[in-house]
Amino acid sequence: MRFELGRIAGAAILSAGLSFGVAGAVSAQDYPHDTVTLVTHSSAGGGTDVFLREMSGFLGKAMGVNFVVENVTGGSGANAMAKLATSPADGSIFYGTTPTYINTSLLSNPEYDFTDMEGVVNVFLDPQIVFVKADSPYQTLADLIEAAKADPTSVPFGVTTPGSLDRQVMEQFKEITGVTSPVITHDGGGELLISVLNGTVAVAIGEIQELGPQIEAGEIRLLASYTEERLPNLPDLQTAREQGVDLVVTKFRGIAGPKGLPQEVKDLWAAGIAKVLEDPDFKAWYMEQSLIPRLMPAAEYEPFLAAFAEEQKAFLIQYGILQQ
Amino acid sequence: MDGISTAFNVLTTTPAIFAAIGGVAWGIIGGALPGISPSIALALLLPFTYGMDPITAIVLLGATYVGAEYGGSIPAILINTPGTNAAAATVVDGYYMHREGRGGEALGISLQSGVIGGLIGLIFLIVFTEPLSRVALAFNFPAYFALGILGLSVIVSLSNGSLIKGMMAATLGLMIATIGTDPLSGVTRFTFGEPELLTGIEYVIVMVGVFAMSELMMTANTPDWGKTDGKQTRIKLPSFKTWRKLWKAQGIGSGVGIFEGVMPGAGGSIAAFMSYNEAKRWSSEPEKFGKGSEEGIAAPEAANNAVACTALVPVLSFGIPGSNSAAILMGGMLIHGLTPGPMLFQKEPEFVYGLFGGLAVANISQLFLGILMMTPALWLVNRPKPYLMAAIFALVFSGIYSIHNSTYDLYLVLLFGVVGYLLRVFGFPFLPLVLGLVLGYLVEANYRRSLELTAGDHRIFWETPISLGLLSAAVLFLVGSAVRDILVARKAAKKVAEGAQG
């Protein structure tokens, strides 16, 4: 892999870009641009930023394009969406999607929102895991539900931020199981982890890549995954469904672009992603991160995002976060 | 002693030692520019580290953090503008000294205190990572709430005599802290539909507005344009005699900094304020605070440099970043394939000891770099006022703009400039406002989360031992200062009465 340092936009603080491209390797059908910008609202070193930079190295080879990752931070994605919505829909600029941009669109009513963009292709799902402290008395979801029903306040549930996906999942969990325990919000994943480790909350939801060190050190124990099938690198971990809680969470990571992209660009992306997902080196990376590859071409991704937004909106209204 | 030889080995075989020095230099510059907070200085640097070996990269980032925490005090002292959030407590006494023509001396105290605080913090980081990490775990919601209340009790001593005005300023700060997203329900509050306000108002915008913009307005009001401010153009490290007066304040600052650095969410600005207050409480000349007290610079500067070291405790022991800067540092580790967390010490001891060694080099080289860079800084601020004011205006605006690349923030900083101007005109103290601002979120969120845990039962606050202890300390302090104030007032009244009789 060849690193090209130097596209640090001197004045544009924080939107320091790093060109991370691999030149050459002409594909069968040429992509209409030599250089493609991938925008993320995450700052350098953040989750989506790392994902895009890691993928763009392999994707550059597969699609014969130089990829440049640009961090457009601020406004929880609002700035990045504004940049995308006002850029040409010619396949030269894309956005790394996570549920955040839909959430921000719904919550803050920014000038440009997710409806000014369209889904191009989905790449991964982030599996959501239920975890407890290592010495917790709860071995299964059933133990947890039983204890919570007996004394709701003795089993507080921890989540990250109020409008987050894991809060939504916890509320759904309560609805399905009929438990009434309090759901305690935090400022982020780090604070939540501390709350689990010091016993303030009894149970929380997280992602493998964040919890890895704690799992390895035996500080926390996993109870269930909200996935359809068991995770390949954690074969002993039962899904929630297997334990009688019918809940599957689809936290997605993919690519979106300005509205009105030509069909051929979308097809080239779907082909390119299909190719990188098979790349053994890339596979090693994403298996280690416990990401589930889930290729969705534009025709499938767009309705998926729309449905996700609808569901999210209903949740936000139901819990009073969003006024109707 | 195995660790020391490992560290020495790593430092002599990699470019880490240069990274430590370079990082400190960049950190001081970044920290000195208002708007470039330590975290932004780190974020700007991060892309450059991708091609480096892991130790060099992380030492570079760590050294930048160290330098930036010190750099923030330079504009605080010289132009009444905190370069970083944590330097806000340094502004009061530092700028006072500068106006008295003792700017070089103030810079020397800040530099020496920063180095001492940093080294003490580093020793604690190296020796006591394990016990310190337990401190972080021991703090639950009620304990954080109590810590915030103890912090707020400081208002009494920061109000410079007018407690009512101090409370009003603090309330304004608390009100500004409620802008943004509600920490528990996620409902947006006082954002008026502006997406820029969703995540709240950046502390640095309020601080720069209140301190720097209002200062510019005041200066424009009193045209004294021809003259320059100071006579002294050399940095002056404290003499041994001065230092004997400072060690207590530096010790208090380091202690508070070590403690606050370990706890996620507390951070440099709270540490700086609390240590300022503690130093005042234990000082033999508390009346000098706010009027150019050397101890008033030494304590917060020792504190924020100690924070820069112990903030690594939660990163190294849990993989949890306690501040934005620590989060970026952790991002840098992840990029280089190092997973911070409980296994790091066992799996990558070379890296850990190398990092400690690099930080030691960074703290020591800060002393020399600080001296080197201070003389030009002093020369700059001694230029004729019209040029200086114009340059500060440009510097502040470009710094604030760079936070989010947003002109919205420029209007905000102007707005807070007007607020600061009015506060000055009507004689309100600034520090309570800043304190209310930085503590408002901590107090509110943790109060409500505690009650959420107990379904509204307040007993949790005195049934949690840490919370009980901290709240008792706050009450004792409040009652103590009230009694002292009453006694002082009575004495003064008696004197006046006697004077009238005689």
| In chain A, domain spans | 18-126+250-318, 128-225
Provide the shortest C-alpha distance from residue B344 to chain A (in Å).
Answer: 8
d(C-alpha A164, C-alpha A249), whole Å: 13
Rounded Cα distance between B353 and B11, Å, is 10
Q: Is A295's Cβ below 8 Å from some Cβ in B?
A: no
d(CA B208, CA A265): 47
The boundaries of the domain holding residue B288 are 2-495
Bridge partners of A38, per DSSP, are A69, A94
Distance from CA of A13 to the nearest CA of B (A): 5
pLDDT tens-digit profile of A78-112?
A: 888 888 988 899 999 999 998 888 988 887 777 88
| CATH topology (fold) of A18-126+250-318 | D-Maltodextrin-Binding Protein; domain 2 (3.40.190)
Best of A194, A207, A216 to disrupt the B interface (most B CBs within 10 Å) is A194
Question: Which of B45, B181, B347, B401 should be substituted to probe chain A, the one whose Cβ sees the most A Cβ atoms within 10 Å?
Answer: B181
Residues of B in contact with A190 (CB under 8 A): 264, 314, 318, 320-322, 327
What Å distances lie between residue A60 and A20, A124, A287, B280, B498, CA to CA?
9, 18, 20, 60, 88
Same fold, A18-126+250-318 and A128-225: yes
SS3 A311: helix
Statement: the pTM of the whole predicted model exceeds 0.90: no
Residue A238 vs residues A130, A162, A179, A244: alpha-carbon distances, Å: 10, 27, 21, 10
Per-residue model confidence (pLDDT) at position A222: 94
- Token pair for residue B175? 């009100």
Nearest chain A residue to B441 by CA distance is A187
* pLDDT at B130 (0 to 100): 79
Helix/strand/coil for A66: strand
Question: Residue B335 and residue A45: Cβ atoms within 8 Å?
Answer: yes
Say what the pLDDT of residue B223 is. Answer: 64
| Residue predicted with more confidence, A64 or B7 | A64
- B404 and A18 within 8 Å at the Cβ level: the answer is no
Helix locations, B14-140, DSSP H: 16-32, 38-45, 54-71, 73-79, 88-97, 103-138
Alpha-carbon span A71 to A13, nearest angstrom: 10
DSSP secondary structure string for all residues of B196-255: GGTT---HHHHHIIIIIIHHHHHHHHS--TTS-S-S--S--PPPHHHHHHHHHHHHHHHH
Residue A24, φ and ψ in degrees, nearest 5:
85, -155
Residues with Cβ within 8 Å of residue A306, at least 6 apart in sequence:
none
How far, CA to CA in Å, does A297 sit from each of A32, A81, B168?
19, 21, 58
Query: How far is A245 from A227, CA to CA, in rounded Å?
Result: 11
Q: SS3 of A220, please?
A: strand
DSSP state of B482: H
Indicate yes or no: CB of B183 within 8 angstroms of CB of A162: yes
Q: Chain A residue with minimal CA distance to B200?
A: A75
pLDDT beyond 50 at A41: yes
Whether B28 maps to a domain, the answer reads: yes
Q: Token pair of A147, please? A: 């204890």
A154 exposure class (CB count in 10 Å sphere: 0-12, 13-18, 19+): exposed
pLDDT top residue among B234 and A39? A39
Q: Give residues with Cβ within 8 angstroms of B18, minimum separation 6.
A: none
Closest alpha carbon within chain A to B193: A108
Sign of CA dihedral B336, B340, B342, B346: positive
Residue A7: pLDDT band with limits 50, 70, 90: very low
Q: What is the interface pTM, i.e. ipTM, of the complex?
A: 0.79
Q: Is the pLDDT of residue A27 over 50?
A: no
| Residue B501 lies inside a defined structural domain of this protein | no
Say how many domains are in chain B: 1
What's the CA dihedral at B196, B198, B199, B201 to 10 degrees?
Answer: 60
Estimate to the nearest angstrom the gap between the alpha carbon of B483 and the chain centroid: 30
Q: Is residue B500 part of a domain?
A: no
CB count within 10 Å of CB B172 equals 19
Q: How many CB atoms lie within 10 A of CB B371?
A: 16
Question: pLDDT in tens for each of the 502 residues of chain B?
Answer: 567 777 777 777 778 889 999 999 999 988 888 777 788 888 788 878 878 888 899 999 999 999 998 888 988 888 888 888 888 889 889 988 888 888 888 999 999 999 999 999 999 998 888 788 888 788 889 998 998 898 888 787 777 667 889 899 999 999 999 998 888 877 778 888 777 787 788 888 888 888 888 888 888 877 665 455 555 567 788 888 888 889 999 999 999 999 888 887 667 788 888 898 888 888 888 888 888 899 999 999 999 999 988 888 888 888 777 777 887 888 788 778 787 877 787 788 888 888 899 999 999 999 999 888 887 887 777 777 788 888 888 888 888 887 777 889 999 999 999 999 999 899 898 888 988 888 888 899 999 999 999 888 999 999 999 999 999 988 988 888 778 777 877 888 888 887 766 5
Condensed to tens digits (0 to 9), the pLDDT of residues B413-464 reads: 999 999 999 998 998 988 889 888 888 888 999 999 999 998 889 999 999 9
With CA atoms as reference, report the closest residue to A130 among A199, A207, A231: A207
Closest CA of chain A from B133, distance in Å = 11
Contacts of residues A174-177 at CB distance under 8 Å and 24 or more positions apart, as own/partner, are A176/A245, A176/A246, A176/A247, A177/A145, A177/A148, A177/A245
Residues 200 through 229 of chain A touching chain B, CB cutoff 8 Å:
200, 212-214, 216-217, 219
Nearest to B293 by CA among B94, B23, B30, B61: B94
Whether residue A297 lies within 8 A of chain B, CB to CB, comes out as no
pLDDT of residue B233: 61
For residue A6, report the phi and psi dihedrals to the nearest 5 degrees: 130, -15
Q: How far is A321 from chain B (nearest CA, A)?
A: 5
Tell whether B186 lies on the interface with A, counting CB pairs under 8 A: yes
Alpha-carbon span B467 to B67, nearest angstrom: 34
- Cross-strand bridge partners of residue A252: A125
Higher pLDDT, A241 or B198: A241
How far CA A91 is from CA of A37, A66, A108, in Å, comes to: 9, 13, 28
Interface of A with B in 96-135 (CB under 8 A): 104, 107-111
Q: How far apart, in whole angstroms, are the C-alpha atoms of residue A154 and residue A182?
A: 9
Residue A19: pLDDT over 50: no
- Give how far Cα A84 sits from Cα of A57, A87, A104, B342, Å: 22, 5, 15, 40
Mutate to test the interface with A, among B198, B346, B397 (most CBs of A within 10 A): B198
**Cβ within 8 Å of residue B41, ≥6 positions away:** B26, B27, B30, B31, B64, B65, B68
φ/ψ of A203, rounded to 5, equals -155, 150
Decide: residue B498, CB within 10 A, 0-12 exposed, 13-18 middle, 19+ buried. exposed
What region does B35 belong to: left with phi over 0, alpha with psi -120 to 50, or beta? Answer: left
pLDDT at B498: 78
More confident call, A281 vs B321:
A281
**Cβ atoms of B173 and B437 closer than 8 Å:** yes
Residue B486: partners with Cβ closer than 8 Å, 6 or more residues away: none
Topology, domain A128-225: D-Maltodextrin-Binding Protein; domain 2 (3.40.190)
Q: Dihedral angle at the C-alpha atoms of B110, B115, B116, B122, nearest 10 degrees?
A: 140
Task: Indicate if the alpha-carbon torsion angle A280, A286, A292, A293 is positive or negative.
Answer: negative
Sheet strands side by side (includes A18-19): A18-19, A66-71, A35-40, A93-97, A251-258, A117-126, A292-297
Chain B residues with beta carbon closer than 8 angstroms to that of A167: 186
Q: Say how many CA atoms lie within 13 Å of B32 toward its Cβ.
A: 23
Chain A stretch 24-53, residues whose beta carbon is closer than 8 A to a beta carbon of chain B: 43-46, 49-50
Task: Find out whether A161 and A104 touch, Cβ atoms under 8 Å.
Answer: no
Which residues are CB-contacts of B207 (< 8 A; sequence separation ≥ 6)? B82, B85, B88, B434
Per-residue pLDDT band at A17 (split at 50, 70, 90): very low
* B442 domain-assigned: yes
The CA distance from B440 to B177, in Å, is 5
Give CA separation, B5 vs B1, B313, B345, B355, in Å.
Answer: 7, 22, 16, 13
Both tokens assigned to B392: 């500060």
B454 shares contact with chain A (CB less than 8 Å): yes
Average the pLDDT over A148-168 and give the result. 88
Q: Using alpha carbons, list the distances in angstroms from residue A220 to A244, A270, B313.
A: 22, 38, 19
Cα nearest neighbour of A322 on chain B:
B187
| Residues of chain A found within 8 Å of residue B185, distances taken between Cβ atoms | 162, 319-321
**Are B98 and B77 within 8 A, CB to CB?**
yes
What percent of chain A stands above pLDDT 90? 46
The shortest C-alpha distance from B239 to chain A (Å) reads 40
- Are A113 and A100 in contact by the 8 Å Cβ rule? The answer is no
